[in-house]
Amino acid sequence: MKIKIGTRGSKLALWQAYHIQDLLEKKGAETEIVTIETKGDKILDVSISKIGSKGVFTEEIEEQLASGAIDIAVHSAKDMQSELPDGFELIAIGEREKASDVLLSNNKNLDLNNSNLKIGTSSTRRIAFLKKYYPEVSTVPIRGNLQTRIRKMEEGQSDALFLAYAGVHRMGYNDQIALEMDVQKFTPAVGQGSIAIETYTSLSSEKREFVRNSINHKPSEIAIKAERAFLKKMQGGCSVPIFGYAQVIENQVVLKGGIISLDGSKFVVSESQAPITNPELAGESLGKYVLENGGAEILEEIRKEQG
């Protein structure tokens, strides 16, 4: 059986694709990796929210899936929009890496109350959390792959970078981590730390089953399903500072999530849980609570500000 794997071409995306390739080949498949450039890879001089949040890192890859040029696509789960286009689905979630955010810096004694400190990030969620908890700190927009961001930091554009632990760890930059953020305070983006496998309906049931059996990590899948159901209920894209983090505890999935205004001044957060047999229920009930308790107003304000 030969499986064609589609991926973005960055070093991190390729690391993820090679990891999936290894899992498939260990089970006996022949594989081929196909690199695809996306809109989000081409446009690096503006923020994701300005490009438009839907399919920024997935649209071109989905075209290749639909045409049959590739069998599966390997994505960072956090890049996936909450509602996939017709005919597409996620059939497997890889085992989740630690989901926390980190600050990467050559200075291991960062003072987050220092008004001269410049932190590089283009994430609306990370910027909003910094404004809420450390208003003295200033942020500068830095995009590009991890190596590009580190080069920009070393050139003096920022003193530190605000990133996901998973990418930093997978690229071998653990020694540059100055601070790891608490997931209860700096709750990550939905899906952060997970690899998602997307397919199109035309994929044969034999390949579909093989891929799922080779890759899927059930506890991670349960958590991601809860988080994605929350994101879907909130109707938020990756440019809206919505956050959610679920964990499987015994036979329940426990989800903490919410929304924060762009300036960090308004914040709605809560927690819900559901049986692991119906993780989406946790996401839907949390989304309903957040929207009814101030989240809808925050969402409306964000959409107006982002134009």
pLDDT level of residue 195 (50, 70, 90 thresholds): very high
If asked whether residues 8 and 67 sit together in one domain, one would say yes
- Both 198 and 87 in one domain: the answer is yes
Does the structure show a pLDDT above 70 at 44?
Answer: no
Note whether residue 68 is domain-resident.
yes
Q: Is pLDDT of 186 > 70?
A: yes
The whole-number pLDDT of residue 50 equals: 47
| pLDDT of 47 over the 50 cut | no
Q: What angle do CA 112, 106, 17 make, to 5 degrees?
A: 105
Query: Which of these is catalytic: 22, 45, 71, 79?
Result: 79
- Give tens-digit pLDDT for 230-265: 999 998 776 899 999 999 999 999 999 999 999 999
What would the pLDDT profile of 199-239 be if each residue is shown by its tens digit?
A: 999 999 999 999 999 999 999 999 999 999 999 999 877 68
pLDDT computed for residue 51 by the predictor: 38
> How many folded domains does the chain comprise?
3
- For residues 204 and 281, membership in a common domain is answered with no
CATH code for the domain in which residue 296 is found: 3.30.160.40
- CA angle 10–259–305, rounded 5-degree value: 80
Question: DSSP per residue over 173-229, as a string?
Answer: -GGGEEEE--TTTSPPPTTTT-EEEEEETTS-HHHHHHHHHHH--HHHHHHHHHHHH
Q: Judge whether 275 and 250 are in contact, CB under 8 Å.
A: no
The CATH number assigned to the domain holding 204 equals 3.40.190.10
CB 73 within 8 A of CB 198: yes
The residues, any chain, with a CB within 8 Å of residue 147's CB and separated by 6 or more, are 11, 171
Instruction: Point out which residues pair with 30 in neighbouring strands.
Output: 2
125 token code pair:
């969620």
User: Does residue 85 sit within a domain?
Assistant: yes
Structure tokens, 153: 């930091």
pLDDT of residue 118: 97
Whether the per-residue pLDDT at 139 is higher than 90: the answer is yes
**Local confidence band at 292 (pLDDT 50, 70, 90 cut-offs):** very high
DSSP string, 244-300: EEEEEETTEEEEEEEEE-TTSS-EEEEEEEEETT-HHHHHHHHHHHHIIIIIHHHHH
Residues 200 and 225 in one domain: no
Residue 137 lies in a domain: yes
**Same domain flag for 226 and 212:** no
How many other C-beta atoms are found inside a 10 Å radius of the C-beta of residue 118? 16
Among residues 83, 119, 128, 78, the alpha carbon closest in space to that of 99 is found at 78
Nearest residue to 174 (alpha-carbon basis) of 121, 75, 97, 111: 97
For residue 147, give its domain range.
Answer: 101-180
Amino acid identity of residue 160, one-letter, is A
> What is the overall mean pLDDT for the chain?
92
pLDDT tops 80 at residue 40: no
Nearest to 43 by CA among 62, 60, 21, 22: 60
DSSP category for residue 234: H
144 and 231 housed in the same domain: no
pLDDT at site 45: 46
- What is the C-alpha to C-alpha distance for residues 245 and 247, in angstroms, rounded to an integer? 7
Same domain as 155, residue 23:
no
DSSP 144: S
User: Is residue 156 a part of any domain in this protein?
Assistant: yes
pLDDT band with cut points at 50, 70 and 90 for residue 56: low
Q: Nearest 5°: CA angle at 99, between 95 and 101?
A: 150
Say what the pLDDT of residue 55 is. Answer: 54
Tell me, yes or no, whether 185 lies in a domain.
Answer: no
> What is the rounded average pLDDT of the residues 97-124?
94
Whole-prediction pTM: 0.91
- Same-domain status, 87 and 209: yes
In a shared domain, residues 86 and 20: yes
- Residues 12, 53 within the same domain: yes
Which are the contacts of 114, defined by CB distance < 8 A and separation ≥ 6?
Answer: 136, 137
Catalytic, 175? Answer no
In a domain, 106, yes or no: yes
255 and 134 belong to one structural domain: no
- How confident is residue 39, by pLDDT bands cut at 50, 70 and 90? low
Confidence band for 41, pLDDT divided at 50, 70 and 90: low
Q: Are residues 73 and 40 in the same domain?
A: yes
52 band by pLDDT with thresholds 50, 70 and 90: very low
